[in-house]
Chains A and B, each alone.
Chain A
Amino acid sequence: MEQGLKVERISKVFPGTKALDNVDLHVSYGKVTVLVGENGAGKSVLMKVLSGVYQPDGGQMWLDGESYHPTGPTEATERGIVLINQELSLLPNLSVEENIFLGRQPMRGLAIDRKTMRREASSLLKQVGLEVDPSTIAGKLSVAVQQQVEIAKALSQKPRLLIFDEATASLGEDETERLYGIVSKLKSDNVGIVWITHRLIEIPRVGDNLVVFRDGQLVHSWDHINVPESEIIMAMVGRSLESIFKVPHEPADRTLLEVQGFSQTPYFEAVNFSLRAGEILGIAGLVGSGRTRLARALAGVSIAGAGTVSLNGKTIRIRTPKDAVDAGIVLVPEDRKDQGVAQIMTVQDNLMMPSLYSMGPLLRFGLMKNVAKDLAEKLKVKGHLHQVTATLSGGNKQKIVIAKWLPLNPKVLIFDEPTRGIDVGARASVYETIRGLAESGVGIIVISSELPEVLGLSNRILVMNKGRQTGILDRSKATEQAVMTLAVR
């Protein structure tokens, strides 16, 4: 009888796509299997099949030699398999302990045994290394802390197999280290672990063996982790990374945007840089370094406390998004689902939204349709103009967010994590668009947590750490090492 979880020829089909294609996988107790792959490769789908959220369309699963076919997450949990989601699923209006024991509160007769709940919650939180009062309301906690509460919740279910799906996505360095420690301890308790990530640096820290997904298939597996990075990337992407990034063109000499002494306490302070026409300035830094706050302040979404911003030599006052947009500074936000597109509106409506007031006193429907059609074609948006935007893929939504600004002829385009959650194909398309815009003289600022992306795109890289600007690197001097050094200084 084989111990652990074994799946054979698992398939899962969604309308229009085969999300999982004959996947075989074996997870042993006491070991960490690292699963890497680009977004959309199928990792999360497989995990949802394993944890009972989805039903497979084909294939078999065995747990310790016995047939395993959970009809829902509850059954999976009963059999000892727990998934820690990428997306936070805590109920923000309930307390930490209520969240941990949701639906499974310790009872004393007819009433909830609050003393036991408090005691057990405290012990779990201590295990995870959190010093939070269990009665704190979950919604008040930071994303990183919420993620750790999720881990505590998973631990409370006494799992035999724990699946971490991009668990470090919102964690800072210290919290990540602590998480590695928890994983170590779980291993020694003979818990089997699946660790999903797209950050290759995590592999040597936690992994025992490595599996690569691409396009719904398990393309390669190793029973060790000493695999050269280039080989892993090759398996993930199907081609070498260099070909996605072309060398950016030389920007013009004239200064387009000048930012001095830009501050917004307590999020960032004393940011100084200038942006030339046609230049791509990358902004790198760890999670929480203030980059998004900086972008939002430049775009008028929030108000900076101090500093000056001048465009083409003229100082401008930015207090609302309208001020920024009117001046020619536009933002492609980090959260495209809620801030980039209006999900319930059609593709055309979203594309034309910023242009509503630039057509004169009366709207011109023929013109709007033609402009929208033009934009969709230019950026290769796969969708019909009258389609509801919510039904488009992440990559296409992002293209809409970028395209909608073009009719306004913006001077500066700020991208915040432009390719998060987008598959490789659409990613290349977004890079092409960014390059094209730079070549036409637009100033570009790209915030990204993906070092290869920042290094590949930018003429210069501004690095931030905890709200301070730690340096600006020229492309010729920018290496992963150099950037990381500045990011943690």
Chain B
Amino acid sequence: MTIETAPKPTTSVGGAQRSWRDLLPSAAGPLIALILLITASSFMSDSFLTLTNIFNIGQQVAVLAILALGGTAVILIGGIDLSVGSVVGLSGAICGYVYVVLHQPIWIAALAALVVGLAAGTINGALITVWKLPPFIATLAMLSVARGLSLVVLDGKPLSGFPDGFRNLAIYYFGGIVPSAVVVVVVVFAIGIAYLKWRPSGRALYAIGGNEEVARLSGLPVNRLKISVYALAGVMAGIGGLLLTARLDSAQPTAGTGLELDVIAAVVIGGASLTGGVGTLSGTVFGVLIIGVLRNGLNLLNVSSFWQQVIIGVVIAVAILIENFRLRSKKAKQLGSKKAKPGRKSTTQGMEG
């Protein structure tokens, strides 16, 4: 044995060939699950696989989808945002207040809603980066503050009287079939997917999630990016708030309650890792659709909404189990040992001394 090559399990391990499994995008898992779910639902109910119903689902999950875009970015960098549901409510409330009470033109009211979302998100980002609050705590606080402010602004009562043009945001059908909400989601996600793939900042988010300190030492503008991500989540919540208000044709003080948990569920089912650095927007889309199809299918089968909640919880757990299993076997294959498990000292660790 020469000195040059000391015995270390470097790269003879892992093989030169990538298995077909490695070449599939990580969103393949959720996609397959979605296809299975759609197939099962179409068998169980005749009314499922109709165009109307499909777009129905799209419309029902539109707000969730838009929030989940911001949620994906946040989870990608290893953070979390518990405030999005409340910010949805607050944006809707501000929109209502500015239009109905302050008698401003609807487009100013809508703009105000977006600004509020942006502000909330930016405050979250600042608390987390500058004052180093854990994301869980910072956004938990914002959850409370935003919800409280919605109640204050609306005086605890729903506010209606929006113009028809505004309602169209949610109920207009392009060509009579495609809901405008779905169009908004498609446009927003198309931009998002392109951004994450092609822009340096997009790639940098993965780096921050992978190892924030390494990203920082590499000269990436980590603080700026983190604040932007939380600000983005806030803006998405603002857009979601407008959509929801338009759909309901009223600003409700309790609008959006609990949405943040659905967002996390969708993002995680879509394959993102809560520790950051792993995840795709397409995966999130599938995650959102899985939740949508599940709810819709269970509705068509007349399952009570209480049981629906139980089932969705089980689905989340199963999704994570499958994802863990997939990652474990991928790492074990690369290390060349069937026994490799996360948490146990891996062979390379042992050798490094």
Contact = CB atoms under 8 A, between A and B. Distances in A.
Given A359-B200, A391-B331, A386 B351 contact: no
A408 B353 CA distance: 32
B289 interface: no
Interface stretch (A41-49, A136-144, A277-285, A440-448): A41-49
B317 to A, nearest CB: 23
A322 B219 contact: yes
Interface in B167-216: 197-200, 202-204, 206-207, 210-211, 213-216
Interface of A: 14-19, 38-40, 43-45, 48, 54, 86, 166, 215-216, 237-239, 299, 301, 320-322, 324-326, 330-331, 333, 338-345, 349-350, 353-354, 356-357, 359, 361-363, 382-384, 386-388, 390-396, 404, 408, 421, 423-426, 428
A425 B7 contact: no
B258 interface: no
A356 B218 CA distance: 10
Interface stretch (B14-22, B32-40, B47-55, B80-88): B14-22
A345 B212 CA distance: 12
A363 B218 contact: no
A343 B220 contact: no
B10 A396 contact: yes
B214 A340 contact: yes
A486 to B, nearest CB: 29
A421 B199 CA distance: 37
A99 to B, nearest CB: 20
B14 A421 contact: no
B351 A393 contact: yes
Given A215-B1, A322-B219, A393 B203 contact: no
A423 to B, nearest CB: 4
Contacts of A45: 350-351
A321 B216 contact: yes
Contacts of A345: 206-207, 210-211, 277
Contacts of A386: 18, 22
A480 B5 CA distance: 30
Contact of B348 (A38, A391, A408): A391
B353 to A, nearest CB: 5
A395 B8 contact: yes
Contact of B217 (A44, A331, A349, A428): A331
Interface of B: 1-14, 16, 18, 22, 197-200, 202-204, 206-207, 210-211, 213-221, 277-278, 330-331, 334-337, 346-348, 350-353
A218 B139 CA distance: 58
B353 A43 contact: yes
B3 to A, nearest CB: 5
Nearest to B334: A391
B208 to A, nearest CB: 9
A38 B351 CA distance: 11
A325 B9 contact: no
A392 B10 contact: yes
A392 B348 contact: yes
A431 B206 CA distance: 32
A166 B278 CA distance: 37
A382 B4 contact: no
A15 B8 contact: no
Nearest to A421: B352
A394 B352 contact: yes
6 contacts: A16-B9, A19-B7, A19-B350, A40-B351, A339-B211, A383-B10
Given A16-B336, A340-B214, A393-B10, A237 B3 contact: yes
Contacts of B197: 363
Contact of B215 (A54, A238, A342, A383): A342
Given A239-B3, A387-B14, 20 more contacts: A15-B336, A40-B7, A338-B213, A342-B211, A353-B214, A362-B199, A363-B197, A363-B199, A383-B10, A384-B11, A384-B16, A386-B22, A387-B334, A388-B330, A391-B13, A391-B334, A396-B10, A424-B3, A425-B5, A425-B6
* Highest count of chain B CB atoms <10 Å: which of A19, A324, A424: A19
Nearest to A393: B8
* A-B CB proximity, top 8 nearest: A325-B219, A342-B210, A15-B336, A342-B211, A17-B7, A423-B6, A16-B9, A354-B218
Given A353-B215, A386-B18, A238 B3 contact: yes
A408 B11 CA distance: 27
Given A239-B3, A354-B218, A357-B220, A344 B278 contact: yes
* Highest count of chain A CB atoms <10 Å: which of B10, B13, B206, B219: B219
A339 B337 CA distance: 27
B65 to A, nearest CB: 25
Contacts of A237: 3
Contact of A40 (B8, B14, B207, B217): B8
Contacts of A338: 211, 213-214
Contacts of A16: 7-10, 12-13, 336
Contacts of A325: 218-219
Contact of B353 (A39, A239, A342): A39
Given A387-B14, A392-B348, A363 B211 contact: no
Given A43-B353, A363-B203, A386-B22, A393 B210 contact: no
B13 to A, nearest CB: 5
Contact of A216 (B7, B198, B336): B7
Nearest to A341: B214
Nearest to B203: A356
